[in-house]
Amino acid sequence: MPAIRGFGRQLKSLIWRDSIADQVDAELDFHIEMLAGELGARGMAPDAARAEALRRFGNLSALNAACRHIARGTERAARRTEYLAELRQDAVHALRQLRRAPGFTAAAVLTLVLAIGANTAIFSVVSAVLLRPLPYPAADRLTVLWAASGDQNQMLVSIPDAREWRARNRTFDDMGIVRNQSINLSGIERPDRLMGSFVDANALRLLGARVSLGRLFAPEETAEGTGRRVAIISDALWKGRFGGAAGILGRTLVLNGLPHVVIGVTAPDYQDPFGSTEVWVPISSAPNQSWFTRDNASVWLVGLLRPGVIREQAQRDLASIARDLGTEYPTTNAGVGVTVLSLQDYLVGTVRPGLLMVLGFVTLVLLIACANIANLQLARATSRRREMSLRAALGAGQGRLVRQLLTESLVLSALGGGLGIVAARWAVPALVAAVPGGLPAFGRIGLDGPVLLFSAAVTIASGLLFGAMPAIYAARADLNDSLQSRTSDGRPGGSGLRHAFVTLQLVLCIVLLVGAGLLTRSLATLLRENPGFDPHDLLTAEFRLPAAKYRSDAQITRFMADALDRIRAVPGVRSAALVNSVPLSGNWATTTYQLDGQPPAPAGELPTAQWNAVTDGYFETMRMPLLRGRAFTSADREGALPVAIVNQELARRVWPARSPLGQRLRIVGAPEVWVTVVGVVGNAKQFTMTEPVAPQVYQPKAQAPGIFSSVVARTDGDPMALAGPLREAIWSLDRDQPVWKIRSLESLLERDVAPPRFTTKLAGSFAALALVLAVVGVYGVMSYAVGQRTREIGIRMALGARGAEVVRMVVMRGLRVIGIATVLGLAVSSLAARLIRSLLYGVSATDLPTFAIVPAVLAVVAALACYVPARKAARVDPVAALRSE
């Protein structure tokens, strides 16, 4: 029986392959039989002997299970040890193999350094800007609230409305009032403008503001009526301007002409989400009492959503309150809606599409790089078939071979990834510094934990991506075929796979080229756009008169007129004017208007226009064309006939068939006034170069006085050279008056187009890198194919084919791949282009020139990449080629 049982056990082990269970069974069986044998030898009957042996073992099945359990653990540990040993062995082997092919290794590692480095660098920005939580308590519930009217959705809110929103809503825990505006600091040696923020106590509390010295505002200190003249300054201002002086608390600063007592210094790491604020003052210290009336929108709000409330619910809630207010106060609130934005969206919403696009670009570049390396690996795999076959013949299983080759790929990607991360470490600061206008990131942008984790994942994924297919292919290398000779059939194996990789590369490359092409065309359109004025040799500056010092309109107008005279007298100034909002400066205003002879409509239903107040000489200084009528003169002063000048667009919309001259408009606002149109000027860009043409209306500054003004001056030569004299001209009138933002209009224009220029450059560079990689890929595959087909080409030439025919044959084969890739690439591009539509200006996502030029460029470059190896093929010596077999 033992023999049969043994056989049965062997059979079972063949079927179940549970060698541990079998071994334990066999071992215990053996012991039992030996014991039974011993007892038998002492005279026990065989059956009784066996029973006694079993009895001594006690609970046999429990013992058996316990032994198996321990043995399994032992085996697992052994397997792990063996695996690690193999891994080490594979890694060492891989390094040796890579050293043996320095050209391949260098090309692959360089490609990976570029691709993984770019991905790491871009992701570090994405992670810091888009993924990192904002440094505010309950940041995911913080929102920013605006009024909305017509196509304007981020308009200021009046303080009485803000109070109603806060009192009536059912979706917010609380709301706070904010208005960031510059504040004049005077009473010191050199008057200056500080970045200011007018807030109520709630706003600072909701934003989690912290002080390192003193305290925050108490509610009664910021309320209208009970407000006190107190201020909190930033850590930077304290340490910078005040040298970190210990006695800062209790010190009095003259802000906007009024004394304020410093009661706190913010913590060094507290950052105002709405700007780099240097001084906070209570909203009750507003520069103008009109801030508190319902007909003056003057603030925005921060709102903390109730837990569980989503933005849309809050939007609906406030919208219904806004509608009620429209009914209750029709003259001011009719048609005025509300916008609820998450703080995150408010801060990064504008950069998100561009950032995600660039991230998409580098991802595709990485895929192209992987396809490239996969093809290089395939080519190597074919030449390494003998090595593989030998190893297989020596007993290495297919899985073992795949693992060894994959390890090789992973070692390669680890080399590239490691160096890529080093490269990114160096590149990230340069990248961040190059971003125009800076990035809205809180905290450092750099290689932190999440970024390194991402890079490690990308590195491993790349290794698997470019390693898997070639490894499987190589390990499958046919034993019989390769041990005898190298492949000698005309079409070496793996050519289908190689063509697939090249096609993939070309398709992705086309997508990137189309993307970069669209962005370039968009940028070109933008740069060709006429701003409506001549930005060269124009100097601008801003100032705001303290309301406490210039109490009457007459005083303000007097100062403005005197200032203008002094500025015009500065040597080098050819002409100058004052204006409320300089184009592209970030300042702008809108108004609603009513036409003469039309019944008065509720505020929300009136047409809107961009509004500006300018002195005489403005249109001349800006070189804006006067199309009809006259420009403003110094005679358009207070008390004279209220006049206005409209732009071409407003004239076209309102009086398409009539002359606008002599028509009357009611400019809505306080004080409301009927103005007579005396001239028509050309359209001008106001907020940004990409804004659509809008109706614009200008009033003489003397008939719409205000404490804020900008200067524009046309200069002889470099405008910035006159920055000092311009400031001195104003200081010669009032030594305490700060003047700021002294800039050239060209710099404003440049600033406006810098972000798209930067994104386009970045996208263009990555597309160029993709093109180089793709061309190298095509070249590599074609050279390889030619090399493999030397014999076939030799035969053809021996049979009389001429060099030119061989060239054509090879190029045609390459063109077929290129043709297929182009068709696929354009199809994918037309889908992908939709994703970047929001980034395009004046160019459609299906821009025909782009979709025509890109494949043409690619075809020419790729055909060249085929031509070079084809020429080499044509020079094949038929005799040598045939003899080489």
Comparing CB distances to other proteins, the nearer of 70 and 635 is 70
The contact mask relative to other proteins for 490-529 (x = CB under 8 A, - = no) is ----------------------------------------
Strands, DSSP E only, in 409-505? none
CA distance 644 to 701: 10
Question: What DSSP element (H or E) covers 206?
Answer: helix 201-206
In the complex, minimum distance from the CB of residue 60 to other proteins, in angstroms, rounded to a whole number: 9
Query: x-or-dash pattern for other proteins, window 232-261, by CB under 8 A?
Result: ------------------------------
Which residues have a Cβ under 8 Å from the Cβ of 787 and sit 6 or more positions away?
Answer: none
Tell the smallest beta-carbon distance from residue 375 to other proteins (Å). 47
Q: Which two tokens stand for residue 830?
A: 């037309």
Least distance to other proteins, CB of residue 50, Å: 14
**In whole angstroms, how close is the CB of 83 to other proteins at the nearest point?**
17
CB of 11 to other proteins, least distance (A): 16
Strand partners, 714: 538, 575
The residue range among 52-60, 158-166, 276-284, 300-308 that interacts with other proteins, by the rule CB under 8 A, is 52-60
Interface of this chain with other proteins, residues 732 to 761, rule: CB under 8 A: none
Structure tokens at 717: 């030569």
- Minimum distance, C-beta of residue 17 to other proteins, in the bound complex (Å): 17
Q: How far is the CB of 89 from other proteins (least distance, A)?
A: 21
Judged by beta carbon, residue 2 or residue 800, the one nearer other proteins is 2
**Hey, which residues between 189 and 218 contact other proteins (CB under 8 A)?**
none
Strands 183-186 and 196-199: unpaired
Nearer to other proteins, 62 or 457 (CB): 62
CB 231 within 8 A of CB 256: no
Candidate segments 50-58, 258-266, 310-318, 513-521, binder of other proteins by CB under 8 A: 50-58
- Would you call the peptide bond into 878 cis, given omega within 30 degrees of 0 as the criterion? no
Q: Which stretch binds other proteins (CB under 8 A): 30-38, 252-260, 324-332, 533-541?
A: 30-38
Q: Taking CB under 8 A as the rule, does residue 26 contact other proteins? A: yes
Specify the residue, 54 or 880, whose C-beta has the smaller distance to other proteins. 54
- H or E segment at 815? helix 803-835
- 30 counts as binding other proteins under rule CB under 8 A: yes
> Least Å distance between CB 6 and other proteins?
8
* CA 729, chain centre distance (Å): 43
Q: Which is nearer to other proteins, 82 or 596 (CB)?
A: 82
Residue with tokens 């340069």: 430
Kindly tell me which of 29 and 192 has the beta carbon lying closer to other proteins. 29
State the nearest-atom distance from the C-beta of 32 to other proteins, in Å.
9
Shortest distance (Å) from residue 794 CB to other proteins: 59
**Token reading at 758:** 């930067």
Q: Which is nearer to other proteins, 28 or 589 (CB)?
A: 28
| Least CB distance to other proteins at residue 15 (A) | 20
Assess 7 for contact with other proteins (CB under 8 A). no
Cα–Cα distance between 212 and 269 in angstroms, integer? 10
> Which of residues 12, 13, 23, 323 is near other proteins by CB under 8 A?
23
Determine the Cα–Cα distance for residues 780 and 107; give it in Å rounded to an integer: 12
Separation between Cα atoms, residue 851 and residue 858, nearest integer Å? 11
Please give the C-alpha separations between residue 580 and each of 583, 588, 634, 711, in angstroms, as whole numbers: 10, 8, 17, 8
* CB contact set of 190 (below 8 Å; sequence gap of 6+): none
Query: How many other CB atoms sit within 10 Å of the CB of residue 793?
Result: 23
With beta carbons less than 8 A apart as the criterion, state whether 621 and 684 touch.
Answer: no
Task: For the CB of residue 51, give the shortest distance to other proteins in the complex, in Å.
Answer: 15
Binding range to other proteins, per CB under 8 A, among 23-31, 407-415, 422-430, 644-652? 23-31
Check: CB of residue 361 under 8 Å from CB of residue 767: yes
Q: Which stretch binds other proteins (CB under 8 A): 32-40, 307-315, 351-359, 397-405?
A: 32-40
CB of 271 to other proteins, least distance (A): 58
State in Å, rounded, how far the first CA of the chain is from the last one. 62
User: Toward other proteins, which CB reaches closer, 20 or 236?
Assistant: 20
Contacts of 752 (CB under 8 A, 6+ apart): 584, 688, 689
Region of residue 655 (phi > 0: left; psi between -120 and 50: alpha; otherwise: beta): beta
Q: Which is nearer to other proteins, 65 or 768 (CB)?
A: 65
- Binding test (CB under 8 A) with other proteins, winner from 13, 33, 163, 742: 33
Distance (Å, whole) CA 569 – CA 722: 12
Q: Which is nearer to other proteins, 64 or 591 (CB)?
A: 64
Cα 461 off chain centre by: 23
Q: Return d(Cα 165, Cα 175) in angstroms, integer.
A: 9
Q: CB of residue 434 vs other proteins: minimum separation in angstroms? A: 59
- Please say whether the beta carbons of 829 and 850 come within 8 A: no
Contact 753, 685 (CB under 8 A): no
Residue with tokens 């003397």: 702
Nearest CB to other proteins, comparing residues 68 and 241:
68
The 3-state DSSP class for residue 264 equals: strand
Long-range contacts of 752-756 (CB under 8 A, 24+ apart): 752/584, 752/688, 752/689, 753/523, 753/526, 753/527, 753/689, 754/436, 754/437, 755/354, 755/436, 755/437, 756/519, 756/522, 756/523, 756/526, 756/839, 756/841
Could you tell me how far CA 27 lies from the centroid of its own chain?
Answer: 67
CB of 23 to other proteins, least distance (A): 7
Q: How far is the CB of 4 from other proteins (least distance, A)?
A: 15
Closest alpha carbon to 809 in 793, 823, 831? 793
User: CA triplet 471, 472, 478: central angle to 5 degrees?
Assistant: 105
3-state secondary structure at position 249: coil
Cβ proximity to other proteins: between 34 and 110 the closer is 34
Compare residues 71 and 853 and give the one whose CB is closer to other proteins.
71
Single residue of 5, 31, 444, 875 touching other proteins by CB under 8 A: 31
**Shortest distance (Å) from residue 49 CB to other proteins:** 14
Q: For 96, how many CA atoms within 13 A lie in the half-sphere containing its CB?
A: 7
Question: In the window 53-92, what residues touch other proteins (CB under 8 A)?
Answer: 56-59, 63, 66-67, 70-71, 73-74, 77
Q: Residue 28 or residue 258: which is nearer to other proteins going by CB?
A: 28
Q: Under rule CB under 8 A, how many of the chain's residues touch other proteins? A: 23
Nearer to other proteins, 33 or 620 (CB): 33
Specify the residue, 59 or 598, whose C-beta has the smaller distance to other proteins. Answer: 59
71 vs 801, which CB is nearer to other proteins?
Answer: 71
Alpha helices in 663-744 (DSSP H): 723-731
Residue closer to other proteins (CB basis): 35 or 258: 35
| The two three-digit tokens of residue 626, written as one number | 């006067």
Closest contact distance (angstroms) between CB of 394 and other proteins is: 25
Footprint of other proteins (CB under 8 A): 2, 6, 23, 26-28, 30-31, 33-35, 56-59, 63, 66-67, 70-71, 73-74, 77
